[in-house]
Structure 1
Amino acid sequence: MAAFAQPRDRSATIGLRFDYLAPAPAGAAICYPFLLRAFHAMVGTQAATPSPLAIVAATLILIVAFFVPFLALALAGRPDANPGARRLAYAAGTTPTLFVLLGVVQALIHSPLPDELVWSVLWLVIAIWSQTAGHPAATMRPTVGRWRIVHGMTAALLSLFVTFHLANHLFGLIGPEPHAAVMKIGRVVYRSGVGEPLLVAAMLFQIGTGLFLAWRWSAAPQRFHRTFQVASGAYLSLYILGHMNSVFIYARTFLGIPTDWNFAIGAPTGLIHDAWNIRLLPHYALGVFFVLSHLASGFRVVLIAHGVNGGAANRLWGAGVAASAVISAAIIAGMCGVRVR
């Protein structure tokens, strides 16, 4: 009878059960396209001359947009998050590249619905799924078999193409003509009848094994370096998939246009002053940053496995991440019109 006379306060129990940070990644992802829209409202078209205040506001908005995947990465590293919340955070870390993929698919199917509407509904569905579907927890070192080793070996081979491809884009700082000249040399190999199918097959293999490894590792909380490696790998998997869709299906098949410098920078309007193209700026910048820092993460694992001191390996990783950011900024600067003579 005492239990009826003094009802139990269930609010504390409910509060413990509900993870208020769990939906935060989805909320940040939903805000992302509206941040880009706000940026465009500040800078306007090429014909417009924004005021200094508008430039400052646009810069701050773009910084916040870039912060979205890193917020998701931080939330993915929470030790008390359940597997569903953790996987939602990893998914939100792919926001910039996933939004580009969505936009291209929308164009391919001639969707009458605004990208922002489809995007918001998509993330609401993902958020609900993450909290209702069964996500059994796993150990911090899940069984991944030899897939991790094979994935790393394929990545080492693909790093040759990545190195050339990014070096090619750095020539954009000199101008479109040097970029095109270097690309013409490279395409002799990676656009050949043998080279292109092998490259595509290797990329698809990396996507498949990368998503498999990300799914397995995301079942349990990981330390920072592993979390970063999983998050960057998830981003790259969708980036590569979206990039191949844009090149092979959208550009070559749907539009019938060359995938040259003008295609990459969204000419004639460019990356900054176009309401659609602005999404390409974070997409490209983080693509470059994550591909290089993901390779640095893999190299760190190899070093530690071969007896290198953890502190030294971490310092080398940090230097690699810093270099990744510098190279990414340089490539994006060239794509936005900065020239070094």
Structure 2
Amino acid sequence: MNKKSADTTLAIWIPAAAAAIYPWILEAFHWSVTPATSDHSGTQLSTIAILTASLLLMAAFAVPLMNLMIASRPQHTAALTAANVRARRFALLAVTAPTLYVFFGVLTYIAGSKVPDQWIWSPAWLVFGYVASRSTDAVMPQHTRTSAHLRVVHGICGALAALYVVFHIANHLFGLISPEAHAAVMDIGRTVYRAKLIEPLLVAVMLFQIASGLRLVWTWSVASSDRYQMFQIASGVFLSIFILGHMNSVFIYARTWLNIPTDWAFATGLPSGLIHDSWNIRLLPHYALGVFFVLAHLCSGLRVVMLAHGVKVPLANRCWWTGVLLSILISVAIICGMTGLRLA
């Protein structure tokens, strides 16, 4: 095996291993905070327990970040091989591990599986990694450029979907005030986006965004891309799984399977909450990254539009970085509200 083949193999096995151990990181986090929430609910965590929990939570967030970096690594050859492309696409899929694990968990619960999720999840990723690593060194054919019309329509539909997304995210920020404030704002919004005419159209737009976005990803993943474009691609892949999983949780799991309202209690996993439940902890990275990626993805789209209209690259990049930093702050604020922080 030559060095290039070894590098490509590692670019598959590292994401596979990272995704495989992701549930165990969350499990370790749960056990690190369990002493304060089991028989000693009034007992505060020790400094060591807090430090351990913090490091484990950072490790959980590092999984998609590391996979994004692997997917974004520059290709030093003019012609990409099938192995190069498959490694990149596999890393992009592994970026979605936090949201895919939630989607997977809901599906196994509905199916009535008695096997713990991680005992299916981890071997599956290792098998996927083995299959992906078997790709050949054949040179990929010149990729076909995607239709400009598809990119334009994807952008227009994305702008329409952003109207709902921005309201939905702003709604969650009201959780920092109180669950009642969140519910009051949500009730106002639902008079619009749950209207009989609007809701099916909104679902159709979301499904179109997933289908068209993945079509663009499939083509762009073959081409040489800079880190900005690769971030846009990776965030789009993450959002495709996130949106599908979110619609499954709302329309199938909550409304159909359990026949319960999708309110604050549903979103935050009450009464246990997001932090102190071994299943619900997976929702924390899922929500945090979902908010971050959807806002940052919109920033990436805005950057493309700015460049297309003659804005200088340094200015467009500064705007992108500003948007990404704001996305992080908003994501952190929402998670703080969902885990119990109140401003008043």
When normalised by structure 2's length, the TM-score is 0.92
Paired position in structure 2 for 1:215: 218
Matched to 2:215, the amino acid is F
Q: Give the superposed CA RMSD.
A: 1.6
Is it true that 1:337 corresponds to 2:340 in the alignment? yes
106-115 or 168-177, which moves further after superposition? 106-115
Q: Does the CA contact (< 8 Å) of 1:97 and 1:235 recur in 2?
A: yes
Q: CA deviation at 1:133?
A: 4.9
Q: Secondary structure at the match of 1:193?
A: coil
Task: Give runs of aligned pairs for residues 182-197 of structure 1, distance below 5 A.
Answer: 182-197=185-200
Matched to 1:46, the amino acid is T
Q: Note the residue ranges of structure 1 that are not aligned, 5 or more in a row.
A: 1-12
Is it true that 1:240 corresponds to 2:243 in the alignment? yes
Q: Secondary structure at the match of 2:28?
A: helix
Matched to 1:216, the amino acid is T
Matched to 1:79, the amino acid is P
Matched to 2:59, the amino acid is V
Q: Does the CA contact (< 8 Å) of 2:235 and 2:294 recur in 1?
A: yes
Is it true that 1:46 corresponds to 2:49 in the alignment? no
Is it true that 1:35 corresponds to 2:28 in the alignment? no
Paired position in structure 1 for 2:204: 201
Q: CA deviation at 1:130?
A: 2.1
Task: Give runs of aligned pairs for residues 1-341 of structure 1, distance below 5 A.
Answer: 13-19=1-7, 20-44=10-34, 46-47=37-38, 48=40, 49=43, 50-80=45-75, 82-133=84-135, 137=140, 142-145=144-147, 146-341=149-344
Q: Deviations over 1:18-60 (max 9, x none)?
A: 3333311111111100000000000016344321210110001
Matched to 2:92, the amino acid is Y
Q: Does the CA contact (< 8 Å) of 1:83 and 1:136 recur in 2?
A: no
Q: CA deviation at 1:17?
A: 2.7
Q: Deviations over 1:252-310 (max 9, x none)?
A: 11111100000000000000000000000000000000000000000000000000001
Q: Distance in 2 between matches of 1:313 and 1:137?
A: 32
Q: Does the CA contact (< 8 Å) of 2:273 and 2:280 recur in 1?
A: yes
Q: Distance in 1 between matches of 2:257 and 2:338?
A: 24
Q: Deviations over 1:152-199 (max 9, x none)?
A: 110001111011100100000000001000000000011111111111
From the superposition, tell whether residues 138 and 261 of structure 1 become closer, same or farther in structure 2 (CA, over 3 Å). Answer: farther
Q: Distance in 2 between matches of 1:74 and 1:138?
A: 25
Q: Percent identity?
A: 54
Q: Does the CA contact (< 8 Å) of 2:154 and 2:213 recur in 1?
A: yes
Q: Secondary structure at the match of 2:133?
A: helix
Q: Deviations over 1:195-247 (max 9, x none)?
A: 11111111111111111111211123411001100000000000000000000
Q: Select the structure of larger CA radius of gyration.
A: 1
Matched to 1:26, the amino acid is A
Q: Distance in 2 between matches of 1:319 and 1:273?
A: 33
Paired position in structure 1 for 2:78: none
Following TM superposition, where does structure 1 have runs of at least 4 consecutive aligned residues deviating by more than 4 angstroms?
A: 133-136
Q: Does the CA contact (< 8 Å) of 1:40 and 1:274 recur in 2?
A: yes
From the superposition, tell whether residues 335 and 304 of structure 1 become closer, same or farther in structure 2 (CA, over 3 Å). Answer: same
Aligned residues: 328
Q: Does the CA contact (< 8 Å) of 1:85 and 1:130 recur in 2?
A: yes
Q: Secondary structure at the match of 1:132?
A: coil
Q: CA deviation at 1:122?
A: 2.1
